[in-house]
Structure 1
Amino acid sequence: MNLLRIIIGLACSYFVFAILLNSVGTVILQAINSFDITKTHASVLEGYKDLSIAVFSFVVASFIPRVGYKFAMLVALGAVTLICLVVPSIAQFYVFKLLFAVIGCSFAIMKISVYSVIGQVANNANKHSALLNTIEGIFMVGVLSGYWVFSSFIGSGNDSDTSWLNVYYLLAGLVGIAFISVLFSPIQSPQKETLPSSQWRAFLDMLALAYKPLVLIFIISAFLYVLIEQGVGTWLPTFNNQVLKLPVDVSIQLASIFAGALAIGRLVAGQLLRFIGWYSLLIGCLVAMAGLVLLVLPLTHNIDGSQVQSVFDVPFAAYMLPLIGFFMAPLYPLLNSVMLSALAAHQQAAMTGLIVVFSALGGTTGSILTGFIFDRFSGQHAFYLTLVPICLLLASVTLFKKMTLDVSAKKVKES
């Protein structure tokens, strides 16, 4: 019963952060339409979100175990509730910078806490991977829900209308529910004897992890993955609206297929991993991602969806592009699980801090680079760019696999 209450608290928190974090693509599209700003200018919102995640993770990752995971999660949820209540009353572009900075800092706390709590309650690698994939799957359900929540407030009317900002009152209520679920969860603080002797020692231990060859190649892989995911996910609503000429509400709803594909892909991957190795699965997924990009993007030229009234009327190519999420889905949680399972429980908060930092840097790089190419060239050029990190991921995942085998062989030899 206690485990169920903990999982509910973690799931509710991750669900609401999924909606908020991944709303950046929708907000970028609305900022371009409502506040008449350029794509390059609008793309900085991803930076406010991801760089705040990166910086705050780096600063607080080693400190969170000392104050307790539950307290840290409650502070994060409380801060987000307050900023969501403020946004609709200001309705200026700068407030979105503040919004995503607060969301980013709060998510840094939340992700480190959630991953660390999973390490506490899962006592072996299989249970860890199963629970982590479940929580990440719920995260993707939140992403999927977020597109429809926002589109229901936006509609297809006047571009300059800011009444859609009322969605943040609803979101504040959802975050409040997550706050209550965490408040009544029996989440334990880590035992003092497992923590480093000082805060400075804990910070140095986190930095020391990054110098391990296995951790370094993992960090590179995580960076490249998030670069692809955020580049596609953030700009897909704008691609649908400005390249395929679809209405704003339909563009946002259609982007939910990407989130849905990610969620389904992680669920399917969880079953496939019972029969095939993780490395074979990831290589197959990367090859399929590249093939889908090369197959679908040529079909998006010369499409005019301006007369489309609903997601059921859109051109075939518009359905196909978001399906890249299905093949992308297993990479991130699986790589995280393999890496975290290789570490002692007291190292997992520090490792999660590094994961969050470099994932955030990858997300910012992907979004800004995609936005720049989208603005200067075209949406097709921007999405073709994903082929570069896909090829680099093929190399880094292969090297990561080789290093994990070497580490396992070393452990067996020492035992």
Structure 2
Amino acid sequence: MIQNYSRIALPLKISFLVFSMVLNCMGVIILQLSATNISYTNLGFLEAFKDLPIAIFSLFAATFINRFGSKTSLIFSLLIVAICCILLPFVGGFWFFKLWFAIMGICFSVAKISVYGILRNNILQEIPLAKVMSSVEASFMIGIFVVNMGFGWLISSTYSEYWKFGFWIISLLALANVFLLMKTEVLPDAEHSQIFYFSEITGFFNRKYFLFFLIIFSIVFIEQNFNSWLPSFYKKHLNVNSFFALQASAFLALFSYVGRIVTARIIQHFSLARYFIGCTIAILLMLFLFQTLVTNGYLQITLFIFPLIGLFLSPLYPVISSQSINHIRKAEIHLFTSLIVIFSSLGSSVGSVIMSYVFQFEYGGYYALFISGAVIVLLLLSFIYFRSYVSKKENNY
């Protein structure tokens, strides 16, 4: 099965790279639009225009993908992204950013469900699937790094007024990947119903899946807070310029990429549960260290220490997702993935709205660290309970 993956690895990674750049340019846009007297509260709700369409459309996306197939659906979503990125520099107004992010969110819901469907159809075993998902998800982190580094350079250059044209590069990459996908052969999807029935979801209405989706919600809540609001935190509370503020997110993403690549290489040597718990505890310790340094005035050191948290944060999502997806029947994979996307988008949206209100206060950035720490504790407790509950019900976990 890994041989099948080797043929499709590149287009799947590029797909995640493209969507990572369009979804995680939020930090850049918040930084740029906040300088035009748009309040942090309004900018916080901008995240909701990206995430709520993901949540609302995901169930319908599963039906769309069942009808047209994972590969065709992925190609379609990339084409829409390319067109929207071409149009962005020519349309002004805050309203267009809302519409643009809504379209990006809908396309991402289709793309992510398609990518997960392709992976599940080609890889059947838990550890190989965890390795592959960590590798593919790692490209998502590279997208965050590239978009922050690229736009950081553009914004700080003499061509800063043309920063929107940076999206044309994303458009070209999306179009190139469409061509690559058309040349790539993948195993066909399992047979699915082309009509969505609400009753199909009821199988996921139990304690085990509630805990799983709570874990997913918490992970994305933390990830999105760090990725979207870290530049504003660095600029507002650590008094660095826009370029270095964006580099904070860029290097957070770089270390997140390293974390997922390392996970893909070593995961077969560890229990998935112990690896997850170890990473979560490491995040708590690093957050405590960061808060201690900030409180005691060691601001310069924190500029370099905080991005290291990505080493331990990034493996959580692919590890828990691959473990659960491996136990889902192929016929249910699109529906299950759509539920993962829904709770991921809710975590992202709720997190950003909360942070937008927190950042309105003079010392809001420091409170943001405590909020993130509380959610990490919730994540750890939820996972421990999840493992305990599942171990009693299913001996194969």
State the TM bucket, normalised to the shorter chain. over 0.9
In the alignment, the residues of structure 1 paired with residue 39 and residue 308 of structure 2 have an alpha-carbon distance, to the nearest angstrom, of 28
* Alignment coverage as a number of residue pairs: 394
Give 2:195's match in structure 1, choosing from 173, 196, 199: 199
Instruction: Give matches, 1:9-408, under 5 Å.
Output: 9-33=11-35, 35-155=36-156, 162-191=161-190, 194-196=191-193, 199-201=195-197, 203-205=198-200, 207-300=201-294, 315-376=300-361, 377-408=363-394
Question: Which whole-Å deviations, capped at 9, do the CAs of 1:130-174 have from their partners, x for residues lacking one?
Answer: 21111011221222112112112211679xx63211111222111
Contact 1:232 1:383 in 2 (8 A): no
Conserved in 1, the CA contact under 8 Å of 2:14 and 2:177? yes
Partner deviation per Cα, 1:224-261 (whole Å, 9 max, x = no partner): 11111111111001111111111111211222111112
Match of 1:311 in 2: none
Residue 320 of structure 1, CA deviation: 1.1
| Percent identity for Structure 1 against Structure 2 | 28
User: Please, what is the CA RMSD of the aligned residues?
Assistant: 2.1
Deviation of the 1:92 alpha carbon: 2.2
AA aligned opposite 1:20: V
Say which SS state the counterpart of residue 124 (structure 2) adopts.
coil
3-state DSSP of counterpart to 1:62: helix
Contact 2:60 2:196 in 1 (8 A): no
Cα distance in structure 1, aligned partners of 2:203 and 2:216: 15
Q: TM-score, normalised by structure 2?
A: 0.93
Distance of 2:228 and 2:120 partners within structure 1: 30
In structure 2, the CA distance between the partners of 1:8 and 1:276, relative to structure 1 (3 Å rule), is closer
Structure 1, unmatched stretches of 5+, are 306-314
The one-letter amino acid of 1:71's match is T
**Higher mean displacement: 264-273 or 62-71:** 264-273
C-alpha separation between the residues in 1 aligned to 2:373 and 2:132?
A: 31
Please tell me whether the aligned partners of residues 126 and 326 of structure 2 are also in contact (alpha carbons under 8 angstroms). Answer: yes
Q: Which runs of 5+ in 2 are unaligned?
A: none
SS, match of residue 357 in structure 2: helix
Provide closer, same or farther for how the CA distance between residues 302 and 88 of structure 1 changes in structure 2, counting only shifts above 3 A.
Answer: farther
Deviations 1:25-78 (A, max 9, x none): 111111101x22111111122111111111111222233122111221121111
Cα 1:284–1:126 change in 2 (3 A) is closer
